[in-house]
Amino acid sequence: MVDLPGGSFLMGTDYEYGFPNDGEGPVHAVNLQPFAIDKFPVTNRSFREFVTQTGYRTEAEHFGWSFVFWAHIPESRRDALIEDTVSAAPWWCKVSGANWAAPEGPGSNLKGRDEHPVVHVSWNDATAFAKWSGRRLPTEAEWEYAARGGLDQKLYPWGDKLRPGGEHRCNIWQGDFPHHDTAEDGYAGTAPVDAFPPNGYGLYSMTGNTWEWCADWFSPDSHRLSAADNPTGPATGQNRVVKGGSFLCHKSYCNRYRVAARTSNTPDSSTSHMGFRCVL
């Protein structure tokens, strides 16, 4: 983990190409107590240790299925594996048997992916892991403060240019979404958690790769109504906040790989592009 000093920072954004319904703004000052945060997202290796020691079964395992991005399902098995798709986002496929240990469904495994972020974990699963490890999920404010790496109101953890000097700094989509990912950054799915340079706080993979669960309930009014000191989000809600974007984010559809961007999902949801990290 990395110890962070806390203090005051400017949270949120008034970025003109953001998503109004996400409630990314207004920009407001937040004060945080010191905290420590995982240097990396929780990996498959770490999650396997948790499962081995506790016998924990994820919600995807209880439900018997999870959502997988269509192009990551072997073409020869798509007809057999895909039960259904999401009408508003047909690239998301309901796959029986998909879970953290079989990310693309039956026949897939984690070989060569020990240091990739664990996926197909719900908010409830992430909370269970955090409790087992003596930690907790970060608040949205803690996550954003950490992701900014000490920079003030920049779009990304390293500045305002997505590819400074033409260099890829994160694992996101390149090409024609959702049909063809050129993988110019080196990865068409998840990447090792240390595949790209860390931010100014020494934290890796804060942008792209996988979405990361936060502790807060989601509301588009969160920023407008949040407390100035150690905000924890609304008292109730239906969805939990996720931050950071994923390997599927693309400027034509979901440019939420910016540090202030935010979206949400239900606490029992799991997909092949959502993970988490913990704080203390």
Please enumerate in sequence order all residues whose Cβ is within 8 A of that of 239, keeping only pairs 6 or more positions apart, or say none.
217, 218, 264, 265, 266, 267
159 assigned to some structural domain: yes
**Which pLDDT band holds residue 226 (cuts at 50, 70, 90)?**
confident
**Which pLDDT band holds residue 75 (cuts at 50, 70, 90)?**
confident
89 assigned to some structural domain: yes
**Which pLDDT band holds residue 127 (cuts at 50, 70, 90)?**
very high
Ramachandran assignment for 205, one of left (phi > 0), alpha (psi -120 to 50 degrees), beta (any other)? left
pLDDT at 74: 85
pLDDT of 81 over the 90 cut: no
Q: Could you give the C-alpha distances from 133 to 8, 112, 126, 230, in angstroms and in order?
A: 28, 24, 11, 22
pLDDT at 217: 98
**Which pLDDT band holds residue 228 (cuts at 50, 70, 90)?**
very high
280 assigned to some structural domain: no
CA separation for the pair 93, 233 (Å, rounded): 31
pLDDT of 101 over the 90 cut: yes
* Average pLDDT over all residues of the chain: 96
CA separation for the pair 127, 56 (Å, rounded): 12
Instruction: Report the predicted TM-score, pTM, of the whole model to 2 decimal places.
Output: 0.96
Q: Which two tokens stand for residue 22?
A: 């996400």
The CATH number of the domain holding residue 134 is 3.90.1580.10
Q: Residue range 253-269: average pLDDT? A: 96
b/e map 199-220, b = 16+ CB within 10 Å: bebebbbbbbbbbbbbbbbbbe
CA separation for the pair 204, 169 (Å, rounded): 10
pLDDT at 44: 98
Domain count, the chain: 1
State the residue for tokens 């949120």.
Answer: 12
Q: Which two tokens stand for residue 193?
A: 């958690």
Domain of 259 in residue numbering reads as: 2-275
208 assigned to some structural domain: yes
Q: Is the sign of the CA dihedral 146, 25, 19, 121 positive or negative?
A: positive
Please enumerate in sequence order all residues whose Cβ is within 8 A of that of 108, keeping only pairs 6 or more positions apart, or say none.
102
pLDDT at 82: 82
pLDDT at 26: 95
CA separation for the pair 30, 250 (Å, rounded): 29
